[in-house]
Structure 1
Amino acid sequence: MYMKSINKKRVLQCIQENAPISRAEIAGKIKISKPTVSLLVDELIQEQWVFEKGNGEASSQGGRRPIQLYFNDRAAYIIGTDIGGTKVNTVVSDLRGNIIASSSFTTGAYLESGLLKQIASEVERLLQQNNIGRTDILGMGAGVPGITETATGIVVEAPTLNWVQYDFISEAKKYFSFPVYVDNDVNAAALGEQWLGSAKNRKNVLFIAVGTGIGSGIIINNQLYRGSSSAAGEIGYMVTDKTDLKHDFKPTFHRYGYLESVAGGKSIGDKFTTHIRNEPDHALFEQAKTSELTGEMAFERAKKGDRIALEVIEEAIEHLAYGVINAASLLNPEVIILGGGVLQSTELILPALRKIVNQYLPSSVEIHTSQLGDHAGVLGAVSLFLREHASILNYHDEGDCL
């Protein structure tokens, strides 16, 4: 039975990756006998994972056209939710990562009354609106902004949500009848990029999210690397200037790391504000006197050639580049993907970053921006579910069906 189960997964994966494909072609690709393939395909059709087109009619050359098999990406649906410090995004996705429906709400408005309760109500609404039954939902993946133990479902610490040792899965079971999996949001985004984005078909990936803070997701030999206490990838704690650290360094927020305190979005805004306050002739001087300028404002001004904004951003990029060099030297990824809020301004960041990184790295590495953008988190959560949940869809044997 075990062998049959494995072979069935292999046949399904082969159809997923190569459709349209015939039974004979599958047998040739995965080296299983034609009768066995035919039997397994019949089961997959019966279970609606696969459908066939064509009726085996003769072609113009005289031979019979083989019946073509296709993967049914609407055989079931998956919920993906990306719980951020500012907002919560939720999607209903098909099995190929096509978003069928989506919604979002402000995190702060539901922190006290319960985020999962609100997510459940959003999911219910999305399913009703799209005539999708609860039994059609395979399960849900969730990304959260903090250290998360996927095996236990416990969020060790998520400061922006005021969660400490929060038993996410136990809470989720109160509202959802289907299986739920949770991981750190940047880990989830890394999986999303590998599944559908800039890291597709790559086995060694470093995904770096640059927002208010800086974090990363690491995929080594096709496996997400979480570390001994689920805290791998905390690149924001890298030190990129020991002299600064020895003197009067103060983290942007309590318990923030060095790199995110000098290159994160909040620190760019803070530095920009400090410099402008010493420039009475600057257009933003009056505003800077009474309020903090944001990282976004610094980028906007830099695009217009503002000298101070360019200097501040250049310094932040240097620190980020040193962090990338350190991480890439250690991990030797095939590709580095940059995502997160600050990277809305890739035309300013990417060329300068590539120049520094390639100058100091022992072997060159591809650096791209996130292809999934705002959807990296939610589609990553869907991908997390597909990877973690033991189902017929969960089979990856490298080089099996190419």
Structure 2
Amino acid sequence: MNKTPRQQKYVNKKRIIQCIRECSPVSRAEIAVKLRLSKPTVSLAVDELLQEKWIFEKGIGESSSQGGRRPIQLFFNEKAAYIIGVDIGGTKVKIVLCDLCGNIQAETGFLTSDYLQTGLLEQMALEIERLIARSPIEKDRILGMGVGIPGIMQTASGLVIEAPSIGWVQYPFIAEAKRFFNFPIFIDNDVNAAVLGEQWLGNALNKRNVLFIAVGTGIGCGMILNNQLYRGASSAAGEIGYMVTNKEEMLRDFKPAFHRYGYLESVAGGKAIGDHFTEAVRKNPHHYLFALAQSSQLSGADAFSAAASGDAAAIAVIHEAIEHLAYGIVNACSLLNPEVIILGGGVLHSAAYIIPRIQEIIERYLPSPAEMKTARLGENAGALGAVSLFLREYDGLLNSRDEEDH
């Protein structure tokens, strides 16, 4: 489809700001060469971008070999606008206020369970209001907000179909949020947001095929395939927690760890590891955690801590869980052939113990190799991912998708 001159001008301007973002400091002449655009076209767009304060210039270029005036260098202005990123988790809600390069300017958070009854959105609005009031950033410099939510949703309409850990069913999140916020809002599954964050600023930088596996209470997966976030036909792609890694157990009346949880997360998620460890300890009156296991459930963290000190029961439970997780990863990678697998979620605290064992299994069974790393953004992966989601979805100059992605 042929573009009108006005549309073409906008596309050029968008390409130029992307070039400055990625290559700054850069001169007008260098942009013209890199993007194969005429010098007048570049100059016109640069003048507009300078006026709109998206970029700034400094005369620090190298002089040419013939001597003469040094070219003026252009820089991206990361403080031109700001974005709010929210990661709504089953345990806590994390909120960050970022500049355009993902530098966190201010952050806050609160426990999810404290506000589930009284209204999570009201509390979010209150916290964001306080966050802005405490920072020197003017409210009109905030472009909008990205939100990661643990569940299945219609991203375009902003309807959360189901988010079991926070009890939302058919919840019109964006419609409700508009009562509190007057800027654009984009939502997605929390693990989808996290994979975008790792591709933007983390261990999946410059990778076009990425698998992000979050192992916490449950197990979720975010996928970038050919540089596109892959959501599936009904936005339910990546539910790796439903994979079956032992058909015998499925045939023996399998019971999920939580209502509506899948097989893999019921044998390899944090809750499952804690439950299986509790069972093992209760069978051994001589175990040092026997009394505790009689009165309460042990956690996944208890199991990892016991395994680190050489406890045989904990080691057996964890090895079993790791095997299931590794087989799930082998299945996913056989199908999707990612360049890198990023492991995130609560499991990060035990990554040094888990990753070598997973790698051993995937190297043995996987037809083509894939690099395995932990999430570089750690606890901030979800909130920074929500900022990245906003930048990808917001239809403005800074939209970070390739032109051919549209």
Shift of 1:58: 6.2
Separation in 1, partners of 2:283, 2:63 = 82
CA 1:174–1:358 in 2, change beyond 3 Å: closer, same or farther? same
1:208 aligns with 213
Aligned partner (choices 338, 346, 365) of residue 333 of structure 1: 338
Letter in 2 for 1:136: R
Separation in 1, partners of 2:226, 2:45 = 30
SS state of the match for residue 198, structure 1?
coil
Shift of 1:395: 4.6
After superposition, the C-alpha distances for 1:329-348 in whole angstroms (9 at most, x for unaligned) are 00111111010102310111
1:224 aligns with 229
SS state of the match for residue 228, structure 1?
coil
Q: Which one has more relative contact order, counting CA pairs under 8 Å at least 6 apart?
A: 1
Aligned partner (choices 316, 329, 337) of residue 311 of structure 1: 316
Separation in 2, partners of 1:2, 1:386 = 20
1:16 aligns with 21
1:65 aligns with 70
Separation in 2, partners of 1:254, 1:57 = 64
Aligned partner (choices 114, 124, 130) of residue 125 of structure 1: 130
Separation in 1, partners of 2:359, 2:202 = 20
TM-score normalised to structure 2 length: 0.96
Residue 376 (structure 2) pairs with residue 374 (structure 1): no
After superposition, the C-alpha distances for 1:115-163 in whole angstroms (9 at most, x for unaligned) are 1111111111111111211110000000011101111100000112111
What aligned pairs does 1:3-402 form with structure 2 within 5 A after superposition? 3-54=8-59, 62-397=67-402
Percent of aligned pairs with the same amino acid: 64
CA 1:329–1:55 in 2, change beyond 3 Å: closer, same or farther? closer
Separation in 2, partners of 1:55, 1:264 = 54
CA contact (8 A) 2:391 2:400 kept: no
CA 1:376–1:209 in 2, change beyond 3 Å: closer, same or farther? same
Separation in 2, partners of 1:121, 1:114 = 11
CA contact (8 A) 1:9 1:395 kept: no
Separation in 1, partners of 2:334, 2:176 = 40
After superposition, the C-alpha distances for 1:150-206 in whole angstroms (9 at most, x for unaligned) are 111000001121111100000110000100011110111011111111111011111
CA contact (8 A) 1:10 1:395 kept: no
CA 1:183–1:396 in 2, change beyond 3 Å: closer, same or farther? closer
Shift of 1:57: 9.6
Separation in 2, partners of 1:168, 1:57 = 52
After superposition, the C-alpha distances for 1:196-223 in whole angstroms (9 at most, x for unaligned) are 1111101111110000000100111111
Shift of 1:396: 3.4
After superposition, the C-alpha distances for 1:302-329 in whole angstroms (9 at most, x for unaligned) are 1111111111100000000000000000
* Structure 1: runs of 5 or more not aligned: none
Q: How many residues align?
A: 400
Separation in 2, partners of 1:121, 1:286 = 43
Letter in 2 for 1:152: S
CA contact (8 A) 2:63 2:69 kept: yes
Shift of 1:358: 1.1
* Structure 2: runs of 5 or more not aligned: 1-5
CA 1:38–1:308 in 2, change beyond 3 Å: closer, same or farther? same
Separation in 2, partners of 1:92, 1:341 = 23
TM-score normalised to structure 1 length: 0.97
Separation in 2, partners of 1:156, 1:398 = 30
Structure 1 vs Structure 2 CA RMSD: 1.6
CA contact (8 A) 2:158 2:174 kept: yes
Letter in 2 for 1:144: I
Separation in 1, partners of 2:305, 2:283 = 20
- Worse-superposed segment, 305-314 or 315-324: 305-314
CA 1:273–1:55 in 2, change beyond 3 Å: closer, same or farther? closer
